[in-house]
């Protein structure tokens, strides 16, 4: 497909616009990862699945994609949890990173270009903050260093808010030590029981908003990348504050495109730990397949909210199973007929890719997939079907489902399977119905017929 057709919604510009990467051959993506103080809830994985889909799509059309997501392993919540459990912050974060990565595997998330931890970039964060102090964008007050929000004349453009109308809230504490209630902490010169780092700023730890900016600049080794994103709730203040620091330090807005993913709802209310309505991802993935969770998320456009119900996930499980069984039966029919791998159906692939090029319009892409799914079923069940056509459908369906991140387990036929199939056909010819029924059940249980 023509890459110039790709269009993405940019929150900063507030509209869908043509996607033009900084490098015509490469795309850089960064999305905010979890704060690893507990098991993550299912909603945390909606951005993960979305940016995995975006990565797969961009790679399919020929880009080399560097996708990065961080771990926030320095945070007051981590300190509080580690003190309660009487273990170190590192032990706590390492445990929950492992739990998070178990879920990544079950969801078939592609390996990332990098998965940086905030704790690995402390000295660079300290130097970054010192630069902001030196240019007047940051100041020390009491035991902390704050960012001077009024030093950034573009502040509020991402979230479409006027600075004069903003009041403290959502991670912004009322603090009389601040010059302005919107100013936010860059460095905490603390003597509490939490982890501290000895740097050029003194002994303390960084603020949340600084961590991501420094990791973006450090991992990609440049001040401006193509795409930055995360959940809708990160738009303000987190991403707004990232842009402010980048503007002050590098005179860029950090990313050319800002993408935000809609909330996962429970009974119409945003899923979150603070509201006590969260469903842990690890628990969902014991009841439902990774394919089902992906299909559930993909059933609604990534920018729109989606409501969690077990019924919706059950339906996605059934759909995933139907896809897998259909692909398995078709694959085995081709293998038993010794039909070679088919040629891709270019028109269908083009329709599929063009749908995703339209700001990841999965609904239209699924229309193409489901059309092929129905034809695969028809040709698989038909006695004298066009096997070359079936081979092409299997090839194209597999290509498209892989871009959607679906993973199907189709074991290769064994010699025993082939013998059972041959014996089954022979029993039918000889009208040995008892034998044919016995072998039919064996073959049917394995999805061969």
Domain segments of the chain as ranges: 3-261, 415-445
DSSP state of 447: T
Q: Which of 287, 285, 316, 314 is nearest to 99 (CA)?
A: 285
- Measured between alpha carbons, how far is 371 from 147 in angstroms, rounded to an integer? 54
> Which sign, positive or negative, has the C-alpha torsion 92, 96, 98, 99?
positive
Q: What is the pLDDT of residue 90?
A: 95
CATH H-level, domain 3-261: superfamily: HUPs (3.40.50.620)
Give the pair of three-digit tokens for residue 33: 């990862």
What is the distance between the alpha carbons of residues 134 and 128, in angstroms, rounded to a whole number?
A: 10
Distance CA 407, CA 324 (A): 9
What confidence tens digit (pLDDT) does each residue in 112-160 have?
A: 999 999 999 999 999 999 999 999 999 999 889 999 999 999 999 999 9
Condensed to tens digits (0 to 9), the pLDDT of residues 383-439 reads 899 999 999 999 999 999 999 999 999 988 888 988 888 888 888 889 888 988 898
Do the beta carbons of residue 426 and residue 438 sit within 8 Å?
Answer: no
Q: What are phi and psi of 326, to 5 degrees?
A: -60, -45
Contact between residue 424 and residue 436 where contact means Cβ atoms under 8 Å apart: yes
Query: Are the C-beta atoms of residues 356 and 403 closer than 8 Å to each other?
Result: yes
Helix ranges, 9-121 (H): 45-60, 76-85, 89-106
- Bridge partners (DSSP) listed for residue 15: 10
Given a cut of 70, is residue 173 above it in pLDDT?
Answer: no
- Give the model confidence (pLDDT) of 80-98 as tens digits: 999 999 999 999 999 999 9
Helix, strand or coil for residue 201?
coil
State the Cα–Cα distance between residues 65 and 284, nearest whole angstrom: 29
CA distance to 195, 241, 245, 358, per residue, from 144 (Å): 16, 17, 16, 45
Taking the C-alpha atoms of residue 130 and residue 226, their distance in angstroms, rounded to an integer, is 26
Q: What is the pLDDT of residues 226-258, one digit of tens each?
A: 999 999 999 999 999 999 999 999 999 999 999
Tell how far CA 296 is from the center of its chain. 14
């Amino acid at each position: 497909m023509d890459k110039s057709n790709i269009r993405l919604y940019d929150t900063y510009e507030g509209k869908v616009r043509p996607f033009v990467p900084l490098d015509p051959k490469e795309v850089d993506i960064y999305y905010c990862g979890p704060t690893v103080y507990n098991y993550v809830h299912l909603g945390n994985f909606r951005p993960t699945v979305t940016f995995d889909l975006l990565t797969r799509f961009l790679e399919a059309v020929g880009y080399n994609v560097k996708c990065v997501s961080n771990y926030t392993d320095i945070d007051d919540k981590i300190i509080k949890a580690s003190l309660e459990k009487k273990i170190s912050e590192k032990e706590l974060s390492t445990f929950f990173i492992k739990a998070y990565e178990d879920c990544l595997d079950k969801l078939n998330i592609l390996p990332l270009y990098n998965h940086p931890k905030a704790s690995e970039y402390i000295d660079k964060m300290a130097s970054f903050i010192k630069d902001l102090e030196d240019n007047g964008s940051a100041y020390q007050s009491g035991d902390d260093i704050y960012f001077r929000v009024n030093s950034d004349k573009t502040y509020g453009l991402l979230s479409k808010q006027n600075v004069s109308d903003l009041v403290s809230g959502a991670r912004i504490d009322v603090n009389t030590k601040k010059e302005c209630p919107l100013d936010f902490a860059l460095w905490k010169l603390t003597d509490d029981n939490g982890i501290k780092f000895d740097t050029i700023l003194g002994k303390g730890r960084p603020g949340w908003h600084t961590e991501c900016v420094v990791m973006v600049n450090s991992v990609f080794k440049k001040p401006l990348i193509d795409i930055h994103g995360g959940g809708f709730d990160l738009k303000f203040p987190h991403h707004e504050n990232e842009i402010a620091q980048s503007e002050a330090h590098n005179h860029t807005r950090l990313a050319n495109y800002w993408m935000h993913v809609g909330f996962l709802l429970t009974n119409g209310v945003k899923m979150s730990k603070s509201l006590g309505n969260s469903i842990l991802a690890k628990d969902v993935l014991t009841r439902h397949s990774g394919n089902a969770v992906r299909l559930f998320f993909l059933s609604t456009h990534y920018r729109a909210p989606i409501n969690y119900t077990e019924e919706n996930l059950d339906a996605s499980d059934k759909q995933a199973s139907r896809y897998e069984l259909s692909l398995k039966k078709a694959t085995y029919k081709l293998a038993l007929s010794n039909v070679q791998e088919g040629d891709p159906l270019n028109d269908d692939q083009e329709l599929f890719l063009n749908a995703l090029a339209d700001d990841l319009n999965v609904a239209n892409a699924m229309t193409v997939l489901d059309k092929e799914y129905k034809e695969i079923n028809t040709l698989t069940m038909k006695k004298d079907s066009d096997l070359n056509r079936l081979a092409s459908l299997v090839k194209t369906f597999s290509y498209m489902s892989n871009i959607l991140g679906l993973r199907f387990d189709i074991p290769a036929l064994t010699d025993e399977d082939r013998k059972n199939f041959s014996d089954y056909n022979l029993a039918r010819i000889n009208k040995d119905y008892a034998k044919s029924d016995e072998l039919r059940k064996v073959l049917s249980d394995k999805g061969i017929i």
